[in-house]
Amino acid sequence: MCWISIDIETDGLIPSDYSMISIGAVIVEKDLSKKFYAELKPISDNFNEKMLSIGGFKREETLKFEDPKTVMIRFKEWIEKNCKSKPYFISDNNGFDWQFVNWYFIHFLGENPFGYNSSNLRSLYQGLNKDMSSHFKHLRKTKHSHNALDDVIGNAEAFWEIIEKYNLNI
């Protein structure tokens, strides 16, 4: 499998009513050199100012971001270029991140290259440690800033540490 760490920022809680504002992705391998980042124009007039501000955005600037369909086409092409095997989605909060990425892929392209599966990084770490209260965040090297690219790099760094520590075969 080709593991891709993904993080998004949004202006609300659910896709369609609200918008994915930015997406970051990195292929999980030692050098973490294969990265994707884009900022997407809102698809809805609805937005939650507080959620939007988490990523450091103002509504006015998001209206100048890239067309979402164009971004999803570029993202799919990036996945195809960088994955020689099936892409697999992993995230710190896959329940939230995957719902937006899936909706955008299905809505704009009619298909999701990840299929219908994703993994949660925290759950993986908890299972490996046999401790439901453990968290992987101390394994990040890149500061968690709520910039989708920074955050996805930090999560991929942590995942790589987990892979090495537990000798996982990915």
Choose, from 107, 135, 144, 146, the residue flagged as catalytic.
146
Active site residue 107: no
User: Which residues fall within 8 angstroms of residue 63, CB to CB, at 6 or more apart?
Assistant: 41, 42
SS3 string of the chain?
CEEEEEEEEECCCCECCECEEEEEEEECCCCCCCEEEEEECCCCCCCCHHHHHHCCCCHHHHCCCECHHHHHHHHHHHHHHHCCCCEEEEECCHHHHHHHHHHHHHHHHCCCCCCCCEEEHHHHHHHHHCCCCCCCHHHCCCCCCCCHHHHHHHHHHHHHHHHHHCCCCC
Q: Which residues are catalytic?
A: 146
